[in-house]
Structure 1
Amino acid sequence: MEVEKNIGTLVEQAAQRFGEREFLIVDHENRRFSFASLNAQVNQYANALLQAGVVKGRHVSVMLPNCSEFPLTWLALAKLGAVMVPVNTRYKVKDLEYVLNDSDSTALVIHRDYLPTFRQVPNHQIQTVFCVGGGAEQGEIDLPAAAAQAPVELSCPEPTLDDVMNLQYTSGTTGFPKAAITTHEYWLVLGKFAAQMMTPDDVFLTMSPFYYMDPQWELLMALYSGCGIVLVEKISLETLARCIKQYPITTLWAFPEMLYLTNFKDDKDHRLKYALLSAFPPALHKELEETFHVTAREVYGMTEIGAGTQMPFEDTHMVGSGSVGKPPEFRQLRIVDEQGNDVPPGQVGELLVKGQGIFKGYYKKPEANAKAFLGEYFRTGDLFRQDENGYYYFVSRKKDMIRRMGDNISATEVEHVLMSHPKIAEAAVVPVPDKIRGEEVKAYILPAAGETPETIPPEEIIAFCLERIAKFKVPRYIEYVTEFPKSASEKIQKNVLISQKADLTEGCYDRFADKPG
């Protein structure tokens, strides 16, 4: 795929192509940017950063909520050739200290709400602090104020495609996260690929925190396609429903909780046309399309590879199949066994990925890099299968498989079935050691709002599962929770669940207690 020489060039070209066309709406700030005005302000931010010593190659941590200053800062750093380290705003002192030092950041752009956390970090290498939202103390720089006084014309050495743009921390559920090295080429390939589904008449609703990957590549997608972006402060069903009606939204990421918005089934007074899905329960796929009158398609990707696969919009026969589609032309995939040998269609193995624009390894983690690659291929750690027609299916995380009496059971598959029950908000499935069967299946259940263990008893859950998956996959043990332990990136920490009890069967419903088998 042919791409521009760097992100800055893309921003300049978009300003020339689309001019005063509306580009970005920051919903909660009621701020609007055209392609031209955003480029001008990006240059001002770049000049303000440059005047304070942020030059090509310098590592700059950015700890901001969803706000105008985040995309302005990111694109400004890109134009300078500096390296952005996006910081999860949920981080506490220990997490922040780790990321600041692990990333070798010497500058920090931070919102005033997070300054108290930063000021408690005992050891760091930060030399320059840029504040957003006020709160700057002596020696610190109010970045928006400095940018407002900076010139619009920018002159600085240009980065290349191979220059690092982000150190993007992955959201592991155990231990500290690793920083994936992503270049200008990585982001340009991802943005241009995504732009193929958008036109200048489309508007994309961005709901995820900007420190995650998605809002970043969505911004580049818009710069390529000329579509609009609506950025919200944080995700909620109320905000989602309002934005669909308030703005001409055509495309968004869908999540299962959207199905609670049942009023949209009879309401076609909106422009929503497309929904992107990731790990969406297949049993709910058609219901989503019918409720919101959209074409919804599954995609697969991860921090390390960017785009992996996408289900073509025209493949209507695959709705509800659970397939994540096929790879784009710039991706090569393999499915291999434990020995690294390719497996035939229908057989499960680990997915390997290579191609243009994947990450360059983990920052300062040579041992992790040695394990992460098989030749030029990145080992995703995800188990996949491919059918005879070339469609790919995610089965489970490699470490998220339960082995029961010789059968492999995907925790992900069981979780999808459980979460398709209208009375279940979230579910987590883990293995329980068993002397006879090797491992048994245990499900942790968080009832939906207004539901209790009494209104959704274990017997109902078991019966629901028996109608939808093979008997050997149905959970033996069920335990109810009032909340799940989660990582800073909102992933359920199964390791914490497992560590809470020496005996994972204690206090659980056991469907074999009265009836062995």
Structure 2
Amino acid sequence: MRTQSPTVAEELAHRKRQELLALPESLGAFVREQAALYGDKTAAVWFERGIGMTYAQIDRAASQLADSLVKRGVRKGCHVALMLKNTPEFPITWIALGRIGAVMVPVNTAYTHDEMTFVLTDADAQYLVIDAEFVPRLADAPALPGLLAWERVIVSGASDHPLQWQALVDAGDAGFKAASAVSRDDLLNLQYTSGTTGFPKGCMLSHDYWMIHCHGAARHRRGPEAGIENVLIWAPFFYMDPMWQFLMTMKLGGTAYIAERMSLSRFMSWLIDYRIHYCIFPEPALSQFPPGERDTEVCLKYISIYGWTRAAREEVQARFNVIAREGFGMTEVGTGALVPAWAHDKALERTCGLPAPFRELQIRRDDGSIADTDEIGELWIRGRGILWGYYKRPEANAESFDGEWFRTGDLFRRDADGFYFIVGRIKEMIKRAGENVSATEVETVLRSMDAIDEAAVVPVPDPLRREEVKAYLKLREGLTQADVPPADVFAYCAKHLAPFKVPRFLQYVEGDFPRTPSRKIAKKRLIAETADPFADTYDRQESRWR
């Protein structure tokens, strides 16, 4: 074990050497390799359901499902949507589709019918694997969205639907071989993200994207004495984090302990009961459980943290003797930067770290030139395996790419040591409890309400969720707040938006919004000129005016 920390140059050289290591050609090939290595070892435990599966069982089930799906018409390049809970069906179906060469389209299970219809139609989904609980959202509509037909809808869970997920697995041949070769450059996911502004866009992500992501994550957390085996996954699988964590765990030869959903009240018990070595640790869990006798029962070795205060970073490392490190990632590029385990002092700052394997970072000024040290500019990223582009979005692709370089829309600076720091976001996005909420999408829904003339949606600080959603409303002429009470606005939003997107705070604007010279709402001025962002607002959560 080294007694001295490496220099930044040595760290970057090490990451370049990592890039020379061969990666599996596809998701299916990777899972098969890991099953050959670890066989009957438990790969995943869905502990609230009492289900555990070995590496060999997951590999076999994926091949059986792939065989049955091909017999049902799924072919290389087919778009298959998944609207599933955190159950074995999700990763097994993903692996099966990857083995065929088909494309998975994850669908947020919190979506309303309107949002679900938009994604299924925009993604050109030809097949849908859906939990029985969500079938009524389809059945209540006069017609299925886009290219779907009922004979191509596969249901998981108790249902009288003729096409059952488990029956397909049971009927399939474990010796499945794809008719067409699947390579690292084939498309694997059409991953929808609000990303910047506007309605969700589908990021086209290849097999190589996921192999780079999970292998880099495993190597980063495999230090000399890391010993990471038990990994807690608590976020919904339709997001990218649980997917790369699941694959990272397989690469480490460990066991993933998968929760149905996040629970702050049970979080510490999960860590102790399942002897968790790694997880993404939400900062509110630290204050939820003050220091106590059970701290010594926590087995954490490494945690990922995002946006924590310095005091919280110091506390968590001291309490649990754990390595706590930040990073920077986004759906479009996977992991962009990571704080090395050896960077102890730097890790107490809010730095995102150094460029990750296969990633090159630059900070550029508005004119595209390279920014100086500590100068703020936009972060640009390039490298093998980043997104191909946004599906059916030529305008967004033209705006977001300059040759190989992807423009993140985030403001960064780079210090004299070579470490990157996020400063803010150029494009409007509210980060609420890990969820991306597009201000433009919420505003579009609000403006579609007849009584509302204009709306401006902005973030406000929140100690638990980091940011909450606040909407400023300008009503149509002649209408008053009594004509359009908050309850009506919230009810309307709930019909068209997932619960996490519905504004918590409402404020009615008298007169007019501050404007730019082109008559757009000047949100920066709106925020700056509001001394108390909660004064004269209605709080949906507390059902009162503040």
TM-score, L = length of structure 2: 0.75
Identify the range of structure 1 (294-303 vs 233-242) with the bigger mean alpha-carbon deviation.
233-242
Distance 1:447 1:259, change over 3 A: closer
C-alpha displacement at 1:68, in angstroms?
1.1
Identify the range of structure 1 (227-236 vs 190-199) with the bigger mean alpha-carbon deviation.
190-199
Please point out which of 142, 145, 159 is paired with 2:182. Answer: 159
CA displacement, residues 379-398 of structure 1 (integer Å, 9 cap, x when unaligned): 00000000000000000001
- Would you say 1:81 and 2:101 are equivalent positions? yes
Please point out which of 289, 294, 304 is paired with 1:276. Answer: 304
Please point out which of 17, 20, 23 is paired with 1:3. Answer: 23
- Cα distance in 2 for partners of 1:257, 1:500 equals 33
Question: Helix, strand or coil: the match of 1:71?
Answer: helix
- Would you say 1:232 and 2:259 are equivalent positions? yes
Aligned to 2:485: none
- Would you say 1:28 and 2:52 are equivalent positions? no
CA displacement, residues 111-144 of structure 1 (integer Å, 9 cap, x when unaligned): 011101122344421130000012243xx41011
Distance 1:136 1:168, change over 3 A: farther
Distance 1:378 1:313, change over 3 A: same
Query: Contact 2:298 / 2:320 at 8 angstroms: preserved in 1?
Result: no
- Cα distance in 1 for partners of 2:160, 2:366 equals 54
Aligned to 2:273: 246
**Residues matched between the structures, number:** 441
Q: How does 1:22-101 map to 2 (within 5 A)?
A: 22-101=42-121
Distance 1:509 1:173, change over 3 A: same
- Cα distance in 2 for partners of 1:213, 1:56 equals 22
Distance 1:174 1:297, change over 3 A: same
C-alpha displacement at 1:263, in angstroms?
4.5
User: Unaligned 5+ residue runs, structure 2?
Assistant: 1-18, 434-438, 440-457, 466-489, 514-525, 536-546
- Would you say 1:212 and 2:239 are equivalent positions? yes
C-alpha displacement at 1:500, in angstroms?
6.9
- Cα distance in 2 for partners of 1:75, 1:89 equals 20
Query: Contact 1:20 / 1:36 at 8 angstroms: preserved in 2?
Result: yes
- Would you say 1:130 and 2:154 are equivalent positions? yes
CA displacement, residues 320-364 of structure 1 (integer Å, 9 cap, x when unaligned): 211010012411111001000101111000000000110000001
Q: How does 1:388-399 map to 2 (within 5 A)?
A: 388-399=416-427
Question: Helix, strand or coil: the match of 2:363?
Answer: strand
Question: Helix, strand or coil: the match of 1:179?
Answer: strand
- Would you say 1:371 and 2:399 are equivalent positions? yes
Question: Helix, strand or coil: the match of 2:182?
Answer: coil
C-alpha displacement at 1:218, in angstroms?
1.3
* Matched residue type, 1:21: K
Distance 1:15 1:345, change over 3 A: same
Question: Helix, strand or coil: the match of 2:412?
Answer: strand
Q: How does 1:12-23 map to 2 (within 5 A)?
A: 12-23=32-43
CA displacement, residues 170-196 of structure 1 (integer Å, 9 cap, x when unaligned): 135753100000000011110110111
Higher relative contact order (CA 8 A, sep 6+): 2
* Matched residue type, 2:80: V
TM-score, L = length of structure 1: 0.79
Query: Contact 2:209 / 2:387 at 8 angstroms: preserved in 1?
Result: yes
- Cα distance in 2 for partners of 1:318, 1:352 equals 22
Distance 1:160 1:446, change over 3 A: closer
Query: Contact 1:110 / 1:129 at 8 angstroms: preserved in 2?
Result: yes
C-alpha displacement at 1:159, in angstroms?
1.2
C-alpha displacement at 1:38, in angstroms?
1.2
- Cα distance in 1 for partners of 2:243, 2:365 equals 34
- Cα distance in 2 for partners of 1:297, 1:79 equals 34
- Cα distance in 2 for partners of 1:70, 1:282 equals 37
- Cα distance in 2 for partners of 1:3, 1:65 equals 30
Please point out which of 155, 171, 194 is paired with 1:171. Answer: 194
- Cα distance in 1 for partners of 2:99, 2:53 equals 18
C-alpha displacement at 1:31, in angstroms?
0.8
User: Unaligned 5+ residue runs, structure 1?
Assistant: 402-410, 417-428, 430-441, 450-482
Distance 1:490 1:325, change over 3 A: farther
- Would you say 1:104 and 2:127 are equivalent positions? no
